[in-house]
């Protein structure tokens, strides 16, 4: 079911967005050579506790997950691109790590993701990160009242195509509100002018993610982490936005 939020409710969602942005900023600063993925998860967990927030991940168990997630942060390294389960891995020079984080504050959820190049970055990785970020900006700019979901999807896909990346549509953006994942689905490829009309009060997460040389993925033995079929690297960018009469409002902006 698609739900629309009042202006007052959107204001109530702002603290969750600000907190998600704060945590991702801290994680970006911590993600460095020699840092264990479990340390990043611990940092996010401590910030959640200090804030009195509620993790959207730790008990999350959708049909595609092997078990409850058990951590508060997704850490997807190199050929992993989504749902990376934090484990005992120490970041090395040249690694690429995507950090995806969602919590509820006072009952309202926000969801956002960034990708960080660790140590000395590869040129190809910087291009991949820049493309997902540019696609996110394009998708947000297309999220105008009176437009359609397909306009967002088309804008994202055009950026990817111009950069030479293929697109997987198995996972994409989604509605956000009292829960992390709701309707509508926001694919990263679509036809302009098609799909759900964007009305004020709609709150969605827009999240382009691309792999360097493929659009095929598989699930790691941990039952969660999604990896590229050919071993190429992935990047992921995401914001939670609200459609307002004046245009898109980014709730998870730093």
Binding region: 83, 100, 111, 174, 181, 207, 238
Burial group, residue 251, by CB count within 10 angstroms (0-12, 13-18, 19+): buried
| Cα–Cα distance measured from residue 115 to residue 144, given in angstroms and rounded to the nearest whole number | 26
Question: 17 near 254, Cβ under 8 Å?
Answer: no
Question: 158 near 145, Cβ under 8 Å?
Answer: no
Cross-strand bridge partners of residue 223 = none
- The two tokens of residue 159 are 């950026």
C-alpha pair distances (Å), 16 with each of 56, 104, 110, 175, 242: 12, 6, 6, 15, 13
| Cα–Cα distance measured from residue 70 to residue 14, given in angstroms and rounded to the nearest whole number | 26
Interacting residues of 71 by C-beta distance below 8 A, sequence separation 6+: 41, 57, 58, 85, 86
> Known binding site for a divalent metal cation: residues?
100, 111, 174, 207, 238
Whether omega before 184 lies within 30 degrees of 0, making that bond cis, reads yes
Question: 153 near 190, Cβ under 8 Å?
Answer: yes
DSSP 143-188: --TT-BHHHHHHHHHHHHHHHT-----SS-EEE-SSSSSEEEEE-S
The DSSP output letter for 67 is: S
> Known binding site for substrate: residues?
83, 181
């Amino acid at each position: 079911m698609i739900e629309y939020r009042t202006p007052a409710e959107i204001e109530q969602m702002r603290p969750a967005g600000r907190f998600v942005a704060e945590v991702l900023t801290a994680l970006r600063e911590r993600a460095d050579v020699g840092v264990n993925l479990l340390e990043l998860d611990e940092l996010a967990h401590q910030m959640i506790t200090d804030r009195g927030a509620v993790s959207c991940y730790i008990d999350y168990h959708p049909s595609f997950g092997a078990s409850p997630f058990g951590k508060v942060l997704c850490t997807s390294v190199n050929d992993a691109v989504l749902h990376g389960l934090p484990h005992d891995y120490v970041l090395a020079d040249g690694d690429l790590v995507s950090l995806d984080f969602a919590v509820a504050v006072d009952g309202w959820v926000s969801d956002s993701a960034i990708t960080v190049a660790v140590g000395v970055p590869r040129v190809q990785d910087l291009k991949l990160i820049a493309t997902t970020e540019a696609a996110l900006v394009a998708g947000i700019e297309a999220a105008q009242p009176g437009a359609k979901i397909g306009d967002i999807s088309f804008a994202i896909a055009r950026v990817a195509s111009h950069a030479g990346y293929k697109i997987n549509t198995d996972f994409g953006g989604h509605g956000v509100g009292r829960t992390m994942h709701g309707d509508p689905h926001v694919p990263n490829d679509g036809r302009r002018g098609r799909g759900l009309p964007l009305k004020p009060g709609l709150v969605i997460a827009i999240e382009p993610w691309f792999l360097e040389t493929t659009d095929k993925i598989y699930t790691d033995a941990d039952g969660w982490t999604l990896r590229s079929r050919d071993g190429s690297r992935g990047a992921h960018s995401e914001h939670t936005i609200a459609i307002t009469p004046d245009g898109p409002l980014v709730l998870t902006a730093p």
